[in-house]
Amino acid sequence: MRRQLMLVMLMCGSVLWMSKSPANAQTNYVAVNYDKIIPASKKYVGVPYQWGGTTAKGFDCSGLIYHVYSSLGIDVPRTTAEMYRMGVSVKKEDLRVGDLVFFDTDGNGVSHAGIYIGNGKFIHSSSSKGVIISSLDDPYYWGKTYIGAKRVLAYRLQPGRFQDIPTSFWAFNEIRTLSEDELMIGYADSYFKPNEPITRAEVASYLGEYLQLDLSDRSAIFKDVSSDHWAIGAINAMQKKGFLTGSNGNFRPEDNLTRAQLAVILTRVFQLKPPATHRSFTDVPPTFWAYKEIQALAASGITTGYEDGTFRPNDTVSRAQFAVFLYRSIHK
């Protein structure tokens, strides 16, 4: 055991070079979507440990953090020791997704690190098992060696609150709940960007995480989703379940989702049943390709359509609208 602990310290804390400056000034990174952190990390579960490794061929503990954060446009140093000297300290009870958690595995100071992913869990590259998800409160090892956490992301407000979502906002309660449940985290500087359209890749990642699917498959199922894509694990997991499909071998991950497409996805995921009495939408005739799914969505109370009697099936879905659809689907 002593030899293994020494290896953790050597492999995770002794790489002496760093490539980017610390992420202390995230105010310049408002465009960074923190919702990508979990799927971009979980897709590497099972990758083996490699001393000095920073690629999907193998990671050391700081190499995994460095790789994931760099891929999302978040600057962090390369070594565990440098990471521990950045950001601000965070109490264990105040941890949020994306905080870095640190461990003293040999009694000589910080020697191991991981990314907090919510619900008391963190993802890290262990010298014995490679990239895995562990519990911070593991009484046999990690709970005993935990020494603290650092916040390197720009969270300006408390969970559930965003600078662009006032309490009067029409979807405030739904967005707040999903944020507090760590399903929709938002962007840097505590922005939610409610009017931004939501993409197919983002929907795959939210639903894949909600369903607690295995997001580690990085195989090339779709021609336009490479193994480097942040959401490949979520996209593959949703495809395997039959919840999401592509066309002509492509998934079109960056395409914006329409209301009709979302109706189909939610009907599959939440197993919505068709109604006994159909609701009339003036722009959704019985011959419409997603008619049954839209009717199931309406019957469940997840959607009511618009006041003018339309459903607007071809309109793109905004982030706020998706939050409401998802919240109602979960709590139906």
CATH number at residue 89: 3.90.1720.10
Q: 141 and 13 share a domain?
A: yes
158 falls within a domain: no
Q: 221 and 292 share a domain?
A: yes
Q: 206 and 313 share a domain?
A: yes
Catalytic entry in 12, 67, 124, 229: 124
Asked which of 151, 184, 219 is the last residue of a domain, the reply is 151
Q: Is 54 helix (H, G, I), strand (E, B) or coil?
A: strand
Q: 209 and 147 share a domain?
A: no
Q: Is 61 a catalytic residue?
A: yes
Burial of residue 160, with CB atoms counted within 10 A of its CB: 0-12 exposed, 13-18 middle, 19 or more buried: middle
Predicted TM-score of the model (pTM)? 0.90
Asked which of 90, 117, 151 is the last residue of a domain, the reply is 151
177 falls within a domain: no
Strands (E), the chain: 54-55, 58-59, 88-90, 100-103, 112-118, 121-126, 130-135, 146-151
Q: 143 and 210 share a domain?
A: no
Two tokens, residue 38: 């979990």
Kindly report the backbone phi and psi dihedral angles of residue 246, in degrees, each rounded to the nearest multiple of 5, phi listed first.
-115, -165
130 falls within a domain: yes
CB 232 within 8 A of CB 226: yes
Per-residue pLDDT of the chain (332 residues; tens, 9 = 90+): 333 333 333 345 433 223 333 344 444 456 899 999 999 999 999 999 999 999 999 999 999 999 999 999 999 999 999 999 999 999 999 999 999 999 999 888 999 999 999 999 999 999 999 999 999 999 999 999 999 999 999 999 999 999 999 999 999 999 999 999 999 999 999 999 999 999 999 999 999 999 999 999 999 999 999 999 999 999 999 999 999 999 999 999 999 999 999 999 999 999 999 888 888 999 999 999 999 999 999 999 999 899 999 999 999 999 999 999 999 999 98
172 falls within a domain: no
Asked which of 95, 127, 151 is the last residue of a domain, the reply is 151
Two tokens, residue 307: 């006041």
Catalytic entry in 12, 61, 67, 229: 61
Tokens 């890290």 belong to residue: 124
Catalytic entry in 12, 67, 112, 229: 112
165 falls within a domain: no
Q: 90 and 7 share a domain?
A: yes
Q: 147 and 9 share a domain?
A: yes
Q: 142 and 17 share a domain?
A: yes
| Owning domain of residue 207 | 195-330
Q: Is 67 a catalytic residue?
A: no
Q: Is 229 a catalytic residue?
A: no
Two tokens, residue 179: 């944020």
Total structural domains within the chain = 2
Give residues with Cβ within 8 angstroms of 253, minimum separation 6.
199, 200, 201, 204, 222, 224, 225, 229, 231, 235
